[in-house]
A and B are shown apart, each in its own frame.
Chain A
Amino acid sequence: MALLQISEPGQSRNPHQRRIAIGIDLGTTNSLVASMKNALPEVLLSEGGQAFLPSVVRYLPSGKTLAGYEALAQAVIDPKNTIISVKRFMGRSLADIGNQKSLPYDFIDTPGMLQLQTVAGIKSPVEVSAEILARLRQLAEDTFNDDIEGAVITVPAYFDDAQRQATKDAAELAGIQVLRLLNEPTAAALAYGLDHAAEGIYAIYDLGGGTFDVSILRLSKGVFEVLSTGGNSALGGDDFDHALLQMVLQESNLMQLTAEDQRALIFKCRHAKENLSIHPGILLEHTLSNKSAIQISISQETFFQLTQDLVQKTIQAVKKALRDAKVSLDDIKGVVMVGGATRMPHVQHAVETLFGRAPLNDLNPDEVVALGAARQADLLVGNKNKNDEWLLLDVIPLSLGVEMMGGLVEKIIPRNTPIPVALAQDFTTFKDGQTAMAVHVLQGERELAEDCRSLARFELRDIPPMVAGAARIRVTYQVDADGLLSVSAAEEKSGVSASIHVKPSYGLADGDIARMLTEGFASAAEDMQLRALREEQVEAQRLMDAVDSALQIDKHLLNDAELTLIEKALGALRQLKDQENIDLLRAGIEALSQATEEFAAKRMNANIRRALTGKNLSEI
């Protein structure tokens, strides 16, 4: 679905013109946008010269929004309507949020994903994130004074399907064409690997504001292959701030805080944490709204002790990832540190102790993810030559399964399986005459369904009545290159089938996005229709160009009858392209698509043969 495109569709581009693509690191604390400039990735700076956009959004009674530094400056005076660290709410239900009590928001416990009551109405985390993304898009458009072809958006590797889908929805809502969702540690590995011409097995240790990821990759001759990934999508720098806050509250015997004091103190604690990375001790001072003053001195040692268990959790995850990758510590050539929270000395120390070597800190840990994303975006829109291309092979972070009788989970796709992937499992009915079957889609490593994340439920109906155990129901899970899942189920004897994109239950339904679009980014219905037509015209042009060039190269794969059929469909679509009838145009695209389906398959197979044997198909 592409409801809004940034570039004006329908305009053909000069083929030699560089396409502008951006990489976006949508972070818990700060967000960045980067792009290629003179063959090197660069973080784009705002008018004020800032590289970061704080991931903060303030809603005003008028419905207007502030974002970034502007919103951050008012975070303490209006905590309820100024949302910070929204990434921690993406794809999460209220029950998933650990430290609810110390958060100032009015949460709404909606099924699937929580929502926030603000002065400008109810907002979903997806909408809040879209506000941030829209600013970044604007910054990129202003920088280049041009439209953006598309963006690679990074997500924590350990994000589950619901969190990924929510991120993609937010980007679409912000009018961004998503080229790919890219795992943050993979983006970092790409930036590091290309900068240093690195070869061998590397570990990426990525401790961000709200999430922790570890990925083990093999880098070799332009291939970045993820061997395993692990982490915790609810563990980051924020948790170190909260640990400090809890200590401050205890030491000063504070029970009830106003939302404003709470917010002010959490910022003070964040600041204290940053200072404690450089100084042996600090003095935390704050005057509460009731005029009473807090003054606590905190030593580096106290801070380290207080948060050592958080660091230990990350080390456990690293060990598990190494096991999953089936590599030993000796195999690791280097450990790349990513994320602002890795500046903490006890984090550095723990990583060094585990690996027995100093971690690599030579890239800016705040920027490396965005820089890698910019490189990948540039590659994906086709700005590279064939000889300086690379290939990213990523995996799924968490196992995908289905609920069985008795609430147990049967895994269909195990964690760390390379994507894209499709795997299936056969089931049968357990009662005579059973005509329906419920499919409950789950993600996670635990054995009980109730301990895993529920991604979707759907039903396969109208199974013809048979004796128990006679039906053969095949449930197929397909994960695409963005790591997003779709599920289908079919009874093999009768052909009854049902399928879903795992979107509606945990992401947003298409209807929701359409509603948000019309509410927030007002666009008339007429506009939408025109846009749809232009998009189909672009698709038609793209298909015709592809068929034309395919015929030029591989015409010999076709017999006369096949060739005639394709040329006929091609001619027909050419006629339709400039007319304004969208239904006819769609039909024309479909017809040419069908006519060339076999040809496309033959070509791809021939390319595989050619690549493996160095021969043309006709020679085999």
Chain B
Amino acid sequence: MVAANLSESSSFTDYFDFFNLPRQFQIDRSVLDRAYLTIQQEVHPDKFVNQDDQQKRRSLQMTTYANTAYQTLKQPVPRGFYLCQLAGLDPQLETNTTMPKEFLIQQMEWREELDDAKSDLSKLEALQQEVQVIQKEWQLQIEKAFDEALAPEKALEKLRCALFLERFLEELDHRLSALI
């Protein structure tokens, strides 16, 4: 899934600039939320119902852009990949699957746990909590790589792991929601 092109010229250099935020991994969620709502007040199609077609079109494009930008920045993993993209790095998601050995071992263990838990709600929830704690740790490391070490290529390696975790959690969540 990729963001659709905003066909017309935009004077904003990137999503961070659009929301008037510094270009870094760590964000103040309340500032982002407020900026998002402020922009929506300006561009939302409901404000242009009585306008000419050109303004309606522009409003649709800008609101779409605002939604995409917001969805990208508010979640850590998409935000990280976006920062890498801005740094000119190719995420190589399809081709590069190298990951630290201990991470892969942990993954395999979790996978086994997931299989063993079958439909046991409490086991699944315990596993979910465990993975979420580890996920937070990875996020912290990613933040350090981006904002302190200023090393996006290092962050990218960690982001691949974080993406793995996220997909695992999604699968877990899918199993959980089937149970309730």
Contacts and interface: CB of A to CB of B under 8 A. Distances in A.
Interface of A: 150, 179-180, 223, 316, 319-320, 323, 379-382, 391-393, 411-412, 417-426, 474, 476, 478, 480-481, 539, 542-543, 546, 593, 596-598, 600-602, 604-605, 607-609, 611-613
A604 B42 contact: yes
A419 B54 contact: no
Given A422-B4, A611-B42, A602 B68 contact: no
Nearest to B11: A605
A165 B41 CA distance: 27
6 contacts: A420-B60, A422-B64, A542-B51, A593-B52, A601-B11, A601-B58
Nearest to A594: B54
Interface centre among A422, A423, A593 (most CB of B within 10 A): A422
Interface in B14-36: 18-20, 35
B39 interface: yes
B52 A539 contact: yes
A71 to B, nearest CB: 33
A172 to B, nearest CB: 16
B39 A391 contact: no
B55 to A, nearest CB: 6
A423 B42 CA distance: 22
Given A421-B64, A421-B67, A382 B50 contact: yes
B2 A426 contact: yes
Contacts of B38: 611-612
Contacts of A612: 19-20, 35, 38-39
A604 B4 contact: no
A608 B18 contact: yes
Contacts of B40: 223, 391, 393
B52 A418 contact: no
Contact of A179 (B4, B49, B58, B67): B49
Contacts of B70: 418
A420 B71 contact: no
Interface of B: 1-5, 8-12, 18-20, 35, 37-46, 49-55, 58-60, 62-64, 67-68, 70-71, 173, 177, 180
Nearest to B45: A481
A420 B67 contact: yes
B51 A425 contact: no
A477 to B, nearest CB: 8
A608 B46 contact: no
A47 to B, nearest CB: 31
A55 to B, nearest CB: 27
B23 to A, nearest CB: 15
Given A320-B177, A422-B68, A481-B60, A611 B41 contact: yes
Q: Which of A223, A420, A593, A602 has the most CB of B within 10 A?
A: A420
Contacts of A382: 49-50
Contacts of B41: 391, 611
A493 to B, nearest CB: 16
A602 B11 contact: yes
B71 to A, nearest CB: 7
Contacts of A602: 11
Nearest to B12: A605
A593 B49 contact: no
Contact of B49 (A380, A420, A539): A380
A381 B54 contact: no
A543 B1 contact: no
Contacts of A425: 1-2
Looking at chain B's contact residues, is the secondary structure mostly helix, strand, loop, or mixed? helix
Given A380-B49, A424-B3, A543-B52, A478 B10 contact: no
Contact of A596 (B3, B43, B54): B54
Nearest to B62: A604
B43 A391 contact: no
Given A380-B46, A424-B1, 9 more contacts: A319-B180, A391-B37, A411-B1, A417-B67, A419-B67, A423-B4, A426-B2, A546-B51, A608-B43
Contacts of A611: 38-39, 41-42
Nearest to B58: A600
B68 A381 contact: no
Contacts of B2: 423-426, 474
A598 B54 contact: no
Nearest to B52: A543
Contact of B71 (A392, A418, A474, A598): A418
Nearest to A612: B20
- 4 shortest A-B CB distances, which residue pairs? A422-B4, A543-B52, A481-B45, A380-B49
A380 B11 CA distance: 28
Contact of B46 (A150, A379, A424, A539): A379
Report which residue of B40, B44, B67 has the largest number of chain A beta carbons within 10 angstroms of its beta carbon. B67
Contacts of B18: 608
Contact of A478 (B1, B42, B43, B64): B64
A392 B40 CA distance: 10
B49 A381 contact: yes
Q: Which of B8, B55, B60 has the most CB of A within 10 A?
A: B55
Nearest to A149: B50
Nearest to A550: B55
Q: Quick one: which of B41, B54, B63 has the most chain A CB within 10 A?
A: B54
A54 to B, nearest CB: 31
A423 B53 contact: no
Contact of A420 (B19, B39, B45, B177): B45
Contacts of A613: 20
Contacts of B177: 320, 323
A536 B29 CA distance: 45
Contacts of A179: 49
Contacts of B9: 598, 601
Contact of A424 (B4, B10, B63): B4
Contact of A543 (B20, B43, B44, B54): B54
A320 B55 CA distance: 38
Contacts of A391: 37, 40-41, 44, 46
Contacts of A420: 45, 60, 63-64, 67
A282 B136 CA distance: 59
B42 A381 contact: no
A268 B177 CA distance: 39
A597 B51 contact: no
A423 B70 CA distance: 13
Given A323-B177, A480-B45, A539 B53 contact: yes
Nearest to A422: B4
Given A180-B46, A391-B46, A608-B43, A546 B64 contact: no
Contacts of A411: 1
